[in-house]
Structure 1
């Protein structure tokens, strides 16, 4: 079983009087594989993948770019 924790950073805009999400960025903070009888989910999250945005402590975290 794979457990993954993360955050969403949304940019909103008001269109025709309604607030909508214009852009959403997913930040992955942690991942843990645990033994299980099921194998379908193993390997779904690879922290070494360069497309993955990993959370980090301090001003290098993606949330500092947003706020």
Structure 2
């Protein structure tokens, strides 16, 4: 387990694109590609984000 030193602020984000919920997905996410997702994750890493989060579902039933 990674330990974060006391008093250290860390931050992360839920990656867009990989979750297509009609409740919060932006229109542009519907046409995004895996390469777009990779670029976003790499940009977060370069910007100092401590983590990126993704959904753990690999398929969502239509009904």
Q: Give the TM-score of the pair, scaled to structure 2.
A: 0.26
Which structure is richer in relative contact order (CA contacts within 8 A, separation 6 or more)?
A: 2
Larger Rg: 1
Structure 1 length as normaliser, TM-score? Answer: 0.26
Q: Which has the higher strand share?
A: 1
